[in-house]
Amino acid sequence: MAGIFIFSEDRALAAQLLTPALELKAALGEPLTVLALDAAQATELSTLGADKVLVVGDSATWIEGLGEPLAALVAHASVVLVGGTLRGKHLAADVAARLKTGMTTDAKAVRIAGGKLVATRILYAGLAVCDEELPLPAVVTIRARTFLAPTTTTAAAPIEQAVAKADARVTVESVTPTSTAGVDITAASRLIAVGRGFRAKDDLKLAEDLGKVLGAELACTRGIAEDEHWLPIERYIGISGQTVKPELYLAVGLSGQVQHMVGCRESKTIVAINNDERSPIFEAADYGIVGDLYEVLPLLTAALRK
Ligand SMILES: Cc1cc2nc3c(=O)[nH]c(=O)nc-3n(C[C@H](O)[C@H](O)[C@H](O)COP(=O)(O)OP(=O)(O)OC[C@H]3O[C@@H](n4cnc5c(N)ncnc54)[C@H](O)[C@@H]3O)c2cc1C
């Protein structure tokens, strides 16, 4: 058994997987191989510390159909890290089943201890953290933005074409990207998240005005998107919504329930504005203003404009 392998069809996430993979490489003293979906991804990832890059498909590959060939390629692996997208989880489970080995999802950290892989995971929507031990070989999925991609580049690793024939029963006829309303909030460095403390849709203008001054995008709680339909669902944060890690998360008129906070708790700085000093958001916040958002937001916008 030898080797650490990574795979994600999501280009940014694939690069992020290299950070924990390089730590595992150091701990195990085993080579690190990137399984790249196509030649372009292979070139992109080849200078981030891996020992080898194998191209396993092309733009027409049905990723879910790669279970069998990927399992053959990683047959002797110690650890396989897979990007924790919906499609990646599907593929990881397929590979783990074929290897007849254990798998865990959404690890926040991975390490080797006592010859096993220890994966740290968040449980019960953020109420608990647990360490799971997996005997090697282990298959682990990791969600986007759990790690930063390596910042130092290395000499380009050799790129080879792997024989990886996807299950031919499903073929990709055409690809239509999902249309999203507006920007990708997961990439924003500043977010203003609004909650049910706002009494009407038009009142969101108060947050938009502050957003313009701060250079921040609007995010929200589930109720604002799914019940009120005041903002598109791509903008709601939490266990069933987006996970974000901005520099600044300004939570306005939201209570900070655990299902929401699990999506933003790793923001660098959390600032809360809430008129109830006992609101749980103040436990998570680095800075808090106890006050009525209808008074505080215009004052803050005016002060920052100066
Ligand atoms: C299975 C499940 C999954 C869920 N997934 C998610 C999820 O992914 N994301 C998510 O967001 N939620 C999710 N929820 C819902 C979650 O539990 C909370 O109900 C929700 O996050 C609360 O939204 P809120 O903070 O906007 O509203 P509330 O909890 O009603 O909070 C409103 C806050 O505004 C404050 N406020 C009121 N008026 C003012 C004012 N004038 N000025 C300042 N502050 C004011 C109040 O003090 C209060 O703290 C989920 C729930 C379940 C059961």
CATH number at residue 295: 3.40.50.1220
The answer to whether residues 157 and 8 belong to one domain is: yes
Report CA-CA distances (Å) from 250 to 1, 33, 102, 300: 48, 40, 39, 12
pLDDT confidence bin for 97, thresholds 50/70/90: very high
- Ligand 1 atom nearest to CA at 239: 8
CB of 260 closer than 6 angstroms to any ligand 1 atom? yes
Q: What is the mean pLDDT of residues 237-258?
A: 94
User: Which tens digit of pLDDT belongs to each residue from 34-79?
Assistant: 999 999 999 999 999 999 999 998 777 788 889 999 999 999 999 9
Find, among 233, 20, 35, 37, the residue nearest to 117 by Cα: 20
* Residue where a domain stops, chosen among 126, 161, 196: 161
Question: Which carries the bigger pLDDT value, residue 301 or residue 182?
Answer: 301
The answer to whether residues 147 and 34 belong to one domain is: yes
Instruction: State the pLDDT at residue 297.
Output: 98
CA of 195 to the centre of ligand 1 (A): 6
Q: What DSSP line would sit under 205-251, residue for residue?
A: HHHHHHHHHHT-EEEE-HIIIIIS-SS-GGGBBSTTSB----SEEEE
Give the C-alpha separation, 263 to 284, whole Å.
Answer: 12
- Residue 169 covered by a domain: no
User: Domain of 208?
Assistant: 185-305
CA of 231 to the centre of ligand 1 (A): 15
Which CATH number belongs to the domain containing residue 18 in this structure? 3.40.50.620
β-pairing verdict for 190-194 and 287-290: unpaired
- Residue 167 covered by a domain: no
CA of 273 to the centre of ligand 1 (A): 13
Q: What is the mean pLDDT of residues 96-110?
A: 96
pTM confidence score: 0.77
In this model, does residue 269 exceed pLDDT 80?
Answer: yes
Instruction: State the pLDDT at residue 270.
Output: 98
CA of 186 to the centre of ligand 1 (A): 20
Instruction: State the pLDDT at residue 306.
Output: 87
Q: What is the mean pLDDT of residues 188-204?
A: 97
In this model, does residue 178 exceed pLDDT 80?
Answer: no
Average pLDDT, the chain: 93
> Which residue puts its alpha carbon closest to atom 51 of ligand 1?
259
CB of 126 closer than 6 angstroms to any ligand 1 atom? no
* Residue where a domain stops, chosen among 146, 161, 176: 161
Find, among 243, 296, 246, the residue nearest to 267 by Cα: 246
Phi, psi at residue 232, to the nearest 5°?
Answer: -65, 150
The answer to whether residues 204 and 262 belong to one domain is: yes
- Residue 172 covered by a domain: no
- Taking each helix axis as running N to C, give the angle between helix 293-305 and helix 204-214, from 0 to 180 degrees, rounded to the nearest 10: 20
Instruction: State the pLDDT at residue 266.
Output: 87
Mean pLDDT is lowest, of 94-103, 169-178, 215-224, for 169-178
